[in-house]
């Protein structure tokens, strides 16, 4: 999956970490197509639990400091759309810490809609997984309109780095 100077490379297929360990996760590297350097990463948690829908989100991303300011996180989310459609994820939940302005802008730029703020309370079964500064989340819903495989996603699934670590 490539967009100008950004390529997403699937590096791992596995299961999400606790407390969502029954949900598959796909981990991608953000690679600069010109230099081949890694610029960050994006993870897709391909399923739904209360924690994913309320606090964690289906997608998590990080862009290394040197590469920030080029919309790589948002572009990576958009590059995932065919794969999301392939997996028939018609609604994707995204979250961000309330103080993370860059994440908020990214989530709005990709077309997701803020549906409110949620707090992980003291008695939540998930409180141990979030440090105190990350317990108030902005929740976004990203609605996708199609479902099913495309030629691009079928080819990518057959030729990923996760299946061939020598690539």
DSSP annotation of 16 reads P
Cβ neighbours, 10 Å, residue 126: 17
Q: Supply the pTM of this predicted model.
A: 0.84
Q: What is the total count of domains within the chain? A: 1
Residue 158 lies in a domain: no
Q: Residue 94 to residues 4, 44, 74, 77, 115: CA-CA distances in angstroms?
A: 25, 10, 12, 10, 10
CATH number at 95 reads 3.40.630.30
- Residues of the domain holding 34: 2-152
93 Cβ contact list (under 8 Å, min separation 6): 48, 52, 53, 57, 58, 139, 140, 141, 142
In a domain, 32, yes or no: yes
Inter-residue contact 16 to 25 (CB < 8 Å): yes
| pLDDT in single tens digits along all 167 residues of the chain | 878 889 999 999 999 999 999 999 999 999 999 999 999 999 999 999 999 999 999 999 999 999 998 999 999 999 999 999 999 999 999 999 998 999 999 999 999 999 999 999 999 999 999 999 999 999 999 999 777 766 554 454 434 444 443 33
């Amino acid at each position: 999956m490539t967009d100008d100077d950004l390529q997403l490379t699937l590096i791992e297929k596995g299961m999400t970490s606790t407390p969502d360990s029954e949900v598959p996760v796909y981990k991608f590297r953000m690679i600069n197509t010109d230099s081949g350097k890694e610029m960050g990463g994006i993870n897709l948690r391909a399923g739904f639990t209360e924690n994913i829908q309320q606090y964690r989100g289906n997608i998590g991303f990080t862009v290394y400091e040197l590469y920030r300011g080029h919309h790589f996180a948002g572009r990576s989310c958009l590059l995932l759309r065919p794969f999301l459609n392939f997996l028939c994820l018609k609604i994707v939940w995204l979250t961000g810490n309330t103080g993370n302005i860059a994440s908020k802008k990214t989530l709005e730029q990709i077309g997701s809609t803020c549906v409110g703020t949620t707090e992980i309370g003291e008695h939540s079964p998930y409180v141990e997984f979030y440090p105190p500064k990350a317990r108030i989340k902005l929740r976004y819903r990203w609605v996708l309109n199609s479902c099913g495989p495309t030629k691009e996603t079928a080819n990518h699934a057959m030729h990923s780095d996760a299946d061939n670590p020598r690539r």
